[in-house]
């Protein structure tokens, strides 16, 4: 399963955002840990100072009260007006509660009667011993209050990241996209280079990290262009230079064959003639291939493919008297204008007709169908087996299991020319039980939407 490639900008934005969130979370965790320790020191200091200031007052208040059977309670000045987190109790040496604040009951604190701090599940208690170790003043601070203060501080630190992270992602993406724009421009420029476009890349203002890439690519494109041009020139020049002497040799061999009377000599002459004709066809295909490689398919002038197909079919019938070709235009189709080069189309369509005539069943018609949407289909019956994947015939020198003469370049030339004419060649083999198998080649020329 092939995964879709992700952009460099997306990877950078995601990585930076995740790292920012992780580091911020770690920083908040460390800050909360330190803050909690500092809060405990502040609250403990306040608790101790409050107890030390409160002890003389509550002891004096205790001795001024009348002695009763139960513990005394100090009334609140403004009950319910404010949150009160501190409570206190005055206890004797036996642990009995003698006096307590209004916001706590008479149940003794679980803290021992010892001077200093003590922590329980819900309270932090500080104890002071007074009156010759006979009275104990204990002030309790709610731990829930401390947890609430720590939680609010943590939320104060965490909330900004929830708000700033999306803004930071947008800002990071804007910066990354601007920073990687030269990379995208270089990528687009390189992706536009192919066998038909080997022009140098001219991009100015690139960052130093990629500034040397266009120079290296241009050097490679230059060498590739020279190599391809040399290959095309060699094929074209060789085929052109050999065609004239080969035609002369073929003519001389035909004259010589007519003068031979012996059966054995005549048979050998016929084999030589067939070899020369096969070599002549190969040279012709090489010339067509060199023209296709030169990029002759593109054109800005529209031509009528209906008229062009009719003209090419008539010419093919004259040169191949045994060919039976039926043209079947779509109902109402009288013209099919497309911006293609007439010579390139003639080479491609002639190759399709030759392929159908050479490898089709003798005596069976070749059908040429024209559709309104620009599809031209050539169909012929075949007698031999075909490859399961008929697209292999697009490759050069690839032929099916047949002994009939051929170069194996016809469909490769058509495929190359169709690419230059902004069209598409589609191959299909159809097998119907009880009937002959057919081979179908469709040339699709989409309408010009400009």
Mean pLDDT lowest among 231-245, 379-393, 433-447: 231-245
Structure token pair of residue 376? 């031209």
- 137 versus 256: the higher-pLDDT residue is 137
- The residues with which 425 forms a beta bridge, in sequence order, are 443
User: What is the sign, positive or negative, of the torsion defined by CA atoms of 30, 32, 37, 42?
Assistant: positive
Q: Could you identify the residue written with the tokens 């030589």?
A: 272
Work out the pLDDT band at 357, boundaries 50, 70, 90: confident
Q: Examine the pLDDT at 356 and tell me if it is beyond 50.
A: yes
Where residue 395 falls among pLDDT bands split at 50, 70, 90?
low
Residue 3 has pLDDT above 60, yes or no: no
Report helix angle 342-359 to 305-319, nearest 10: 50
Rounded distance, CA 72 to CA 69, Å? 9
In this predicted structure, the answer to whether residue 82 has a pLDDT above a threshold of 60 is: no
Q: Is the pLDDT of residue 113 over 50?
A: yes
Q: Is the pLDDT of residue 292 over 70?
A: no
Strands 298-304 and 337-340: antiparallel
More confident residue, 249 or 399: 249
For residues 48 and 37, what is the distance between their CA atoms, to the nearest angstrom?
16
Task: Give per-residue pLDDT as tens, 173-198.
Answer: 888 888 888 888 888 888 877 666 77
pLDDT of residue 405 exceeding 60, the answer is no
Q: Is the pLDDT of residue 76 over 70?
A: no
For residue 150, what pLDDT is reported?
83
Q: Is residue 220 within 8 Å of residue 240, measured between CB atoms?
A: no
Structure tokens at 146: 């401390």
Q: Which residues does residue 303 pair with via DSSP β-bridges, in sequence order?
A: 338
The least confident of 82-91, 139-148, 168-177 is 82-91
Is the pLDDT reported for residue 1 higher than 50? Answer: no
Task: Report how far residue 26's alpha carbon sits from residue 23's, in angstroms, rounded to the nearest whole number.
Answer: 5
When the pLDDT of each residue in the chain is averaged and rounded to a whole number, the result is: 78
Query: Would you state the pLDDT for residue 311?
Result: 92
All structural domains of the chain: 8-75+83-149 (3.30.450), 194-294 (1.10.287), 297-444 (3.30.565.10)
Kindly state the greatest CA–CA separation across the chain: 159
Instruction: Tokens 């010589």: give the residue.
Output: 256
Model confidence at 450, pLDDT cuts 50, 70, 90, reads very low
Per-residue pLDDT tens over the stretch 232-290 = 666 656 656 666 776 777 777 777 777 777 777 777 777 877 777 777 776 676 666 66
| Over residues 348-353, mean pLDDT | 88
Using alpha carbons, list the distances in angstroms from residue 193 to 92, 149, 172, 201, 424.
97, 65, 32, 9, 20
């Amino acid at each position: 399963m092939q995964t879709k490639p992700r952009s460099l900008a997306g990877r950078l934005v995601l990585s930076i955002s995740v790292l920012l969130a992780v580091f911020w979370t770690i920083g908040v965790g460390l800050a909360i840990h330190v803050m909690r320790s500092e809060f405990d020191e502040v609250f403990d200091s306040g608790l101790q100072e409050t107890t030390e200031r409160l002890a003389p007052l509550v002891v004096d208040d205790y001795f001024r009260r009348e002695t009763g059977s139960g513990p005394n309670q100090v009334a609140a000045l403004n009950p319910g007006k404010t949150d009160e987190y501190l409570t206190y109790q005055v206890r004797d040496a036996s642990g009995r509660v003698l006096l307590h604040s209004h916001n706590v009951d008479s149940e003794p604190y679980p803290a021992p009667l010892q001077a200093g701090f003590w922590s329980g599940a819900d309270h932090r208690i500080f104890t002071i011993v007074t009156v010759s170790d006979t009275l104990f003043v204990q002030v309790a601070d709610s731990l829930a209050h401390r947890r609430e203060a720590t939680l609010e501080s943590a939320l104060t630190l965490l909330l900004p990241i929830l708000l700033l992270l999306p803004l930071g992602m947008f800002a990071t993406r804007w910066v990354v996209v601007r920073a990687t724009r030269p990379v995208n421009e270089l990528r687009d420029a390189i992706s536009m280079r192919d066998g038909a476009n080997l022009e140098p890349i001219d991009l100015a203002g690139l960052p130093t990290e990629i500034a040397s890439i266009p120079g290296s690519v241009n050097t490679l494109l230059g060498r590739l262009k020279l190599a391809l041009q040399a290959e095309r020139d060699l094929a074209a020049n060789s085929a052109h230079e050999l065609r004239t002497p080969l035609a002369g040799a073929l003519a001389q061999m035909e004259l010589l064959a007519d003068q031979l009377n012996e059966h054995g000599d005549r048979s050998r002459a016929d084999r030589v003639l067939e070899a020369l004709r096969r070599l002549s066809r190969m040279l012709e295909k090489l010339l067509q291939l060199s023209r296709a490689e030169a990029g002759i398919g593109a054109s800005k002038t529209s031509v009528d493919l209906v008229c062009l197909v009719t003209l090419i079919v008539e010419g093919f019938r004259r040169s191949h008297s045994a060919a039976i070709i039926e043209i079947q235009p779509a109902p109402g189709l009288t013209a099919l204008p497309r911006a293609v080069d007439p010579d390139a189309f003639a080479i491609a369509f002639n190759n399709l007709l030759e392929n159908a005539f050479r490898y089709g069943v003798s005596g069976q018609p070749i059908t040429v169908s024209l559709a309104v949407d620009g599809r031209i289909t050539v169909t012929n019956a075949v007698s031999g087996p075909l490859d399961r994947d008929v697209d292999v015939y697009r490759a050069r020198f690839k032929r099916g299991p047949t002994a009939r003469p051929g170069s194996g370049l016809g469909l490769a030339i058509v495929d190359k020319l169709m690419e230059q004419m902004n069209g598409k060649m589609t191959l299909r083999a159809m097998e119907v039980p009880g009937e002959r198998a057919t081979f179908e080649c469709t040339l699709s020329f989409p309408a010009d939407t400009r």
